[in-house]
Chains A and B, each alone.
Chain A
């Protein structure tokens, strides 16, 4: 009944609200599938305009129509092959120039264009004023419609434009005129292309000529059957390059930008005065000379509360699953294979599950740290942290920008070393490289969490916060000292930094980043930590004297124990002169995560004897185990929510005199925190004061070997050796001062 349906394509850059507009146009009449032979999603919808059937195809979001990605080729091929009645080019009105680049390429395909100025409300809020009529005139009369996809504004006007465009048979889209040299070559190629009927049928000759001059890879491949054309195109580009000194593709691209420049200079008026944005109002408070630093510290405090407390229930769950079901399933499986009591069982249970598992348990902790840091980064606050710290940094002669790499160091020290490249001055870079290793990286966090939980219970978050502050303090003091000595004659460079506007964090971005960071930790557990665990297990299974037998030796008498014993006295003044502590520290050089893994292997291994007897008495059934995993996960979820809620009272309670009650969903009080096998074993070897000293040492001592490699790569061998010696000395000194000072103050009980 109806006339033949019209095809309309929606094209636009990524994130311009194309999908919202597509939905507003087609409503529920949509079909989602894939582009033939590709994994790229294809969305098609229908609408009826006065009885006329219109098919709307949503092209993939791209910045241009070159042949550099599948998405670009799909869009281009669709326009070439399907010859849609019109292409609705959706552009972000607030980023008009960048978005128009794609439009110029659609125009080159000689397809009628309807320009949808989307998000025009945002552009107006930014003080940009765009004149659609002038824009339309510049585009040879193509309809230009202001739309706000989210509220449906302009959708009706868009439909009218579709109708009108489809009604006009002879469309003359705007043409981009190139420089003389280019136009001459196009004029020479065009007749040659027109002479080939098969090509004329498929392509617009002018467009094909331009692509030949650009040496578009996809087109060259498709024209393999026409070597003379390819040769002519090639000769043309060479002549252009000889005449102008520039590559043809560059000239063509540049002409498109020129066309856009001309278009925009007519149609777009930028605000004359600089408007005060919400972001500026936030800056009045957040970067204030008095409140700036306290606000920074408060935010950090909240970050570490989240890290320590919110992740705790999930951590206990993972711990419970590894120590419980996973362990006895492994034992059960091995005994079914007749390997019960063999060295293989010991390797798997005491070596790998205990060592790798002991580290993996902390994935929830790191995840919450990365989540909190990610939120701060994406909101635009991190750059402000460097701004407010500039005052402090400058007071000791450092560059405010040095604080940015230091903040990266909260995640991982290695990228922090590379991030020093953002500093322009060599001596600033070296100095900052020296400091970033004191910033507590994610890998050191598990040690604080374990020690905090073992000795300070619910107050463990404060120990963590204190360690982070101590790291900053030592870094700044070191910087101050170096500035007074080694880098005495190096004046600080001018401080200039761009501040991005504040915005609500994009949860998707933050989540993806959090996941990538956490999975880099998990990957590490599967590689370097796994390898270390096996080596340490081996060294702990090998007896140091001829009396012992393999895999049947007290840990203290093993090779590992004996070697650790030799180094132990170094740490006696710091209160942890036992072989277990020094052994864990030695392995920490490989990766700081390993410290906790080794501690698990040593301490839990010692306790295993008792635990295994217990299990043997009444091994839980498979059903019981599965139920345990399920119910404890549920419980952990409830407790996580509880801890998130409790951030508020805990933060408000810092103010003296206020004491808000904390939420307690399961009615169990704060005391249920069951201390794991590792925690209880630690309390027997360390005194609380020695535990703090040990934590301080872990914070400050020699960076892991990957960091050492990075330092050497960036700053050379000698520098790195100084760094190793200095960090070890400072760590030892720090730990001794804490322990001896604590003893003097009478805390050593």
Chain B
């Protein structure tokens, strides 16, 4: 897959470990969106990928003190882009 070539938007499941990304769209049905919203994963949020690997669950750093494990299936529905580097 060449998704890394298009810097615009890609599922978070493809983000590499250590990358900081911001959520731009959550795909899938209302229930998935609602569930992610309940977890505080809303569009606009910046998260860092702590652990990621092909076809397994991910660990995301959400805010400074929270680490969330999410399954691969959910990760495929979270579209992100690279967060702008702050000066």
B-contacting residues of A (Cβ < 8 Å)? 126-127, 270-276, 279-280, 283-284, 287-289, 383, 387, 390-391, 394, 400, 494-501
| B17: chain A residues within 8 A (beta carbon) | 284
In the complex the two chains form, is B35's CB within 8 Å of A494's CB?
A: yes
Q: Chain B 12-32, CB within 8 Å of chain A: the 1/0 string?
A: 000001101000000000001
In the complex the two chains form, is A498's CB within 8 Å of B68's CB?
A: yes
| B73: chain A residues within 8 A (beta carbon) | 494-495
Instruction: Evaluate whether A400 and B67 lie within 8 angstroms (CB atoms) in the complex, with A274-B47, A283-B51 already known.
Output: no
B64 lies within 8 A of chain A by Cβ: yes
In the complex the two chains form, is A400's CB within 8 Å of B20's CB?
A: no
In the complex the two chains form, is A495's CB within 8 Å of B59's CB?
A: no
In the complex the two chains form, is A494's CB within 8 Å of B32's CB?
A: yes
Q: Whole-angstrom distance from the CB of A268 to the nearest CB of chain B?
A: 12
Instruction: Evaluate whether A496 and B71 lie within 8 angstroms (CB atoms) in the complex, with A273-B86, A274-B20, A289-B53 already known.
Output: yes
Q: Whole-angstrom distance from the CB of A495 to the nearest CB of chain B?
A: 3
A324–B67 alpha-carbon span in the complex (Å) = 54
Of listed B55, B71, B73, residue having the most chain A CB within 10 A? B71
| A400: chain B residues within 8 A (beta carbon) | 57, 69, 71
Query: Of B35, B51, B61, B63, which contacts A496 at CB under 8 A?
Result: B35
Of listed B17, B18, B57, B59, residue having the most chain A CB within 10 A? B57
Query: Of B46, B51, B64, B66, which contacts A270 at CB under 8 A?
Result: B64
Q: Whole-angstrom distance from the CB of B62 to the nearest CB of chain A?
A: 8
In the complex the two chains form, is B74's CB within 8 Å of A287's CB?
A: no
Instruction: Evaluate whether A497 and B20 lie within 8 angstroms (CB atoms) in the complex, with A126-B64, A400-B57 already known.
Output: no
In the complex the two chains form, is A498's CB within 8 Å of B86's CB?
A: no
Q: Whole-angstrom distance from the CB of B50 to the nearest CB of chain A?
A: 5
In the complex the two chains form, is A390's CB within 8 Å of B51's CB?
A: no
In the complex the two chains form, is B59's CB within 8 Å of A387's CB?
A: yes
B81 lies within 8 A of chain A by Cβ: no
Instruction: Evaluate whether A127 and B64 lie within 8 angstroms (CB atoms) in the complex, with A284-B51, A390-B71 already known.
Output: yes
| A272: chain B residues within 8 A (beta carbon) | 86
5 more CB-based (< 8 A) A-B contacts, given A495-B74, A497-B69: A271-B64, A274-B20, A274-B47, A280-B67, A494-B32
A496–B37 alpha-carbon span in the complex (Å) = 12
Interface residues of B in 42-87 (CB under 8 A from A): 46-48, 50-51, 53-57, 59, 61-74, 86
| B67: chain A residues within 8 A (beta carbon) | 279-280, 283, 498-501
In the complex the two chains form, is B57's CB within 8 Å of A387's CB?
A: yes
A232–B35 alpha-carbon span in the complex (Å) = 47
Query: Of A270, A273, A496, which contacts B69 at CB under 8 A?
Result: A496
| B72: chain A residues within 8 A (beta carbon) | 394
In the complex the two chains form, is B20's CB within 8 Å of A496's CB?
A: no
B interface majority secondary structure: mixed
| A498: chain B residues within 8 A (beta carbon) | 66-69
Q: Whole-angstrom distance from the CB of B64 to the nearest CB of chain A?
A: 5
Q: Whole-angstrom distance from the CB of A711 to the nearest CB of chain B?
A: 28
A272–B45 alpha-carbon span in the complex (Å) = 12
Query: Of B32, B51, B61, which contacts A287 at CB under 8 A?
Result: B51
In the complex the two chains form, is A391's CB within 8 Å of B57's CB?
A: yes
Sample of 13 A–B contacts (CB below 8 Å): A274-B20, A274-B48, A274-B61, A274-B63, A280-B50, A280-B67, A284-B17, A287-B51, A390-B56, A494-B32, A494-B73, A495-B69, A499-B59
B39 lies within 8 A of chain A by Cβ: yes
Q: Which residue of A lies closest to B28 (CB)?
A: A494
A244–B24 alpha-carbon span in the complex (Å) = 39
A82–B72 alpha-carbon span in the complex (Å) = 61
A400–B35 alpha-carbon span in the complex (Å) = 17
| Nearest 9 Cβ contacts at the A-B interface | A495-B71, A289-B53, A499-B67, A497-B69, A274-B61, A274-B48, A494-B74, A391-B56, A390-B57
A271–B54 alpha-carbon span in the complex (Å) = 30
In the complex the two chains form, is A280's CB within 8 Å of B61's CB?
A: yes
Q: Whole-angstrom distance from the CB of A119 to the nearest CB of chain B?
A: 15
In the complex the two chains form, is A275's CB within 8 Å of B69's CB?
A: no
| B68: chain A residues within 8 A (beta carbon) | 496-499
A67–B18 alpha-carbon span in the complex (Å) = 48
In the complex the two chains form, is A496's CB within 8 Å of B39's CB?
A: yes
Of listed A272, A289, A500, residue having the most chain B CB within 10 A? A289
A498–B66 alpha-carbon span in the complex (Å) = 7
| A274: chain B residues within 8 A (beta carbon) | 20, 46-48, 61-64
Q: Whole-angstrom distance from the CB of A568 to the nearest CB of chain B?
A: 48
Q: Whole-angstrom distance from the CB of B3 to the nearest CB of chain A?
A: 20
| A275: chain B residues within 8 A (beta carbon) | 64
In the complex the two chains form, is A283's CB within 8 Å of B56's CB?
A: no
| B70: chain A residues within 8 A (beta carbon) | 494-496
Instruction: Evaluate whether A494 and B71 lie within 8 angstroms (CB atoms) in the complex, with A271-B64, A274-B63 already known.
Output: yes
Q: Which residue of A lies closest to B73 (CB)?
A: A494
Instruction: Evaluate whether A387 and B71 lie within 8 angstroms (CB atoms) in the complex, with A126-B64, A273-B20, A274-B46 already known.
Output: no
A273–B47 alpha-carbon span in the complex (Å) = 9
Q: Whole-angstrom distance from the CB of B59 to the nearest CB of chain A?
A: 6
Q: Which residue of A lies closest to B66 (CB)?
A: A498
A496–B72 alpha-carbon span in the complex (Å) = 10
